[in-house]
Structure 1
Amino acid sequence: MLTIWRHPRPIGATGRCIGARTDLPVDPRKAKRLAHRIRAHARRQGLPRDVVTSPLRRAADVGRWLQRWGFRWRVDAALREMDFGDWDGCRWEQIPPTAFDAWMTDFNGFGFGPGECLRELMARAATWQPPCALAVGHAGWITARLWAAQQKGQVPTAATWPVPLGYAQATSTPFAS
């Protein structure tokens, strides 16, 4: 099983659409605190000191702490958050209601301009092969991975999409979905 943690709460994310193009920092103390929790989990489970993270700072900063403590840290772009295209980084109230409604109507296939649709994120998350048993990633990616593993063949809608994992929380998912 892969245990994946959602990164700590990023600085400046409140009220904004944050995806793969908005590389926000996290409070270094929160990154260190999550790294401590991952290190303790690895020790309790007898896991190798090996972690993979998204390249975005909000996840990678945790990997940097673990590396300082002797973990092998790898970065994998396939773990990055969904790419919201032109919406990425915008305040939610800046997004035209008609565009938001179009996304809710075609939740799985809506294209975010030069970004990716949920269907593409789900394919990326479902086919990713973990190089180790510990990872730090993003809520959208984690939810997509879990959906692919647990809801095989079902197309998500805005009404059926699960509540995302909380900041600095962990879940387990099969190595192969």
Structure 2
Amino acid sequence: MALILLRHTRPEGAEGLCYGRTDLPLADDFAAEAARLARDLPPFTRILTSPLGRCLRLAQALAAARARPLSIDPRLAEMDFGRWEGQRWDAIARAELDLWAADLTGARPHGGETVAELAARSRAALNAALTGPVPVLVVCHAGVIKSALAAGQGAAGWRAQPGYGSWLELGPGWQGEEGSK
């Protein structure tokens, strides 16, 4: 394996909320979850993380527990949902959600970032991570993980539902280009 993509642990108040760049506090069980991950994750040489607090705090705990170097890469941040940020998904206008669903990668009815833009920057970060010592632990968000999956699986990757505190291992042949393995 070359990359281990780890989704941050559960944030407080996230249920039903659109919170891409909104930096929610972590849930009360954070310390226990961080300890579990420090124990259970496969070996890695270094850690890259999103700058958002829900990832950075976990990355710092894992770097301390495993005595590994940590770097922040802003390209690993979650998608910018523009004016949808902080809103409940069920409060967002149905017509806007339908526009987004009709052109998932290119539409931006929220005024923020497109899925294609998220994919381009996050895949660039993951490809750059492959140029140094591997395996690399990448502490990131569901959108970044879905982007990596979509590079190999196409549209099916965007439908993935990575759980909080779950990880995905990508082999050395992974390339962050649509349709590659």
TM-score by length of 1: 0.82
Partner of 2:25: 25
Mark the CA change 1:114 to 1:102 in structure 2 (over 3 Å): closer, same or farther.
Answer: closer
1:64 and 2:60 are equivalent in the alignment: yes
Deviation at 1:41, TM superposition (A): 2.9
The within-5 A match list for 1:1-177 is 1-20=2-21, 22-27=22-27, 29-31=29-31, 33-34=33-34, 36-38=36-38, 40-42=40-42, 45=43, 47-48=44-45, 50-69=46-65, 70-128=67-125, 129-130=128-129, 133-148=136-151, 150-151=152-153, 154=154, 156=155, 161-174=158-171, 176-177=175-176
* Corresponding letter in the other structure for 2:162: L
Gaps of 5+ in 1: none
SS of corresponding position for 2:4 = strand
What is the distance in 2 between the residues matched to 1:72 and 1:65? 11
Mark the CA change 1:75 to 1:112 in structure 2 (over 3 Å): closer, same or farther.
Answer: farther
What is the distance in 1 between the residues matched to 2:120 and 2:27? 31
* Corresponding letter in the other structure for 1:24: L
SS of corresponding position for 1:8 = coil
Q: CA offsets, 1:28-79, max 9 Å, x none?
A: 642553354245535xx3x32x211111111111112124333212111111
What is the distance in 2 between the residues matched to 1:61 and 1:10? 12
TM-score by length of 2: 0.80
What is the distance in 1 between the residues matched to 2:161 and 2:104? 16
Mark the CA change 1:122 to 1:104 in structure 2 (over 3 Å): closer, same or farther.
Answer: same
* Corresponding letter in the other structure for 1:147: A
* Corresponding letter in the other structure for 2:138: A
SS of corresponding position for 2:41 = helix
What is the distance in 2 between the residues matched to 1:100 and 1:81? 18
Number of aligned pairs?
166
CA RMSD of aligned residues (A): 2.2
- Give the fraction of aligned pairs with identical amino acids, expressed as a percent: 35
